Structure 1
Amino acid sequence: MTGRETLLDPTGSAARTADATPAPRPVSLRGLTVGLLDNARPNATRLLTELAAELRHRHRTAGSLRYVKDCAGLPAREELIKELAQDCDVVLTAVGDGGSCAAATVADGVALERAGVPAVSVVTEPFLAAGRAMAEVCGFPGYAFAVVRHPVAGLGADALRGRAAEVLPGVLRVLGAGGGRA
């Protein structure tokens, strides 16, 4: 039997499905504060730190603030989303390198967009479907996120720096910042 399946929201957050409009994109990243929402997966901190360093170097951001989630497989608490929205101009959240953590990373990005903050969720290639499914469940089927080559966990500093360099154009695309200098 072929038919359409219903995807249930595993977060129980049906109230978050009201708006699918992305937050306004900055004209430039110069002088902006970058929030780093770390889901505590292996190498998430290092990947986010490398991305923030590149944004600061290439686009002259003001710097970054790091926040850590309680659980990689669950969306961030509403209080944390509010704090990020208050303190940061743009947010990077990572790393979605497993089924539930990829879905939660995308849910975090959608919540930040709805709070008015441009957000880039970073998901590894094998978990694109989980990220896309969560965006749809959240009522934001067009939510764009950045894709990084798998794996991220277990990489050394040089390999991780390479992954950050590979995903940076995707991060800039989602932020609407293009590839040029600020």
Structure 2
Amino acid sequence: MHDAVTGEKLGIPSIGVMTTKFVSAADLMSRVLGADGFSFVTIDHPISSATPDKLLNCAQQAVVTSAKILVGGAQ
């Protein structure tokens, strides 16, 4: 979240990607960095044990959600 928020503050379109387990931490980090409500992509947790097909599906969904966020759509 730090990198994504910093990038946005510098005018660089940025996306944070968090697993479901870390959503509350991502929200907190956004608030601490002065970007309360910063939109980010959420993917299933855990990913370390995910199959290649599951990872591909997560990545595809993350790309779609990222595009929506970058053009101003809701998460």
Bin for the TM-score computed over the shorter chain: 0.7 to 0.9
Partner of 1:113: 8
Match of 1:144 among 26, 35, 39: 39
- Percent identical among aligned pairs is 29
Q: Kindly indicate which of the two structures has a greater share of residues assigned to helix.
A: 2
Structure 1 CA distance for aligned equivalents of residues 20 and 65 of structure 2: 13
Q: Kindly indicate which of the two structures has a greater share of residues assigned to strand.
A: 1
Partner of 1:162: 57
TM-score (norm 1): 0.37
**Structure 1 stretches of 4+ moved >6 Å:** none
What are the Cα deviations for residues 124-176 of structure 1, in whole angstroms up to 9, with x where unaligned? 11211000000000011021111111121232322210111222221111111
Structure 2 CA distance for aligned equivalents of residues 121 and 167 of structure 1: 10
- Which 5+ residue runs of structure 1 have no aligned equivalent? 1-105
TM-score (norm 2): 0.84
Taking a change above 3 Å as real, the CA distance of residues 161 and 177 of structure 1, as seen in their structure-2 partners, is: farther
What are the Cα deviations for residues 69-113 of structure 1, in whole angstroms up to 9, with x where unaligned? xxxxxxxxxxxxxxxxxxxxxxxxxxxxxxxxxxxxx11100111
- Which 5+ residue runs of structure 2 have no aligned equivalent? none
Partner of 1:16: none
Taking a change above 3 Å as real, the CA distance of residues 139 and 166 of structure 1, as seen in their structure-2 partners, is: same
Higher relative contact order (CA 8 A, sep 6+): 2
Structure 1 CA distance for aligned equivalents of residues 72 and 38 of structure 2: 16
Number of residue equivalences:
73
Q: CA RMSD in A?
A: 1.6
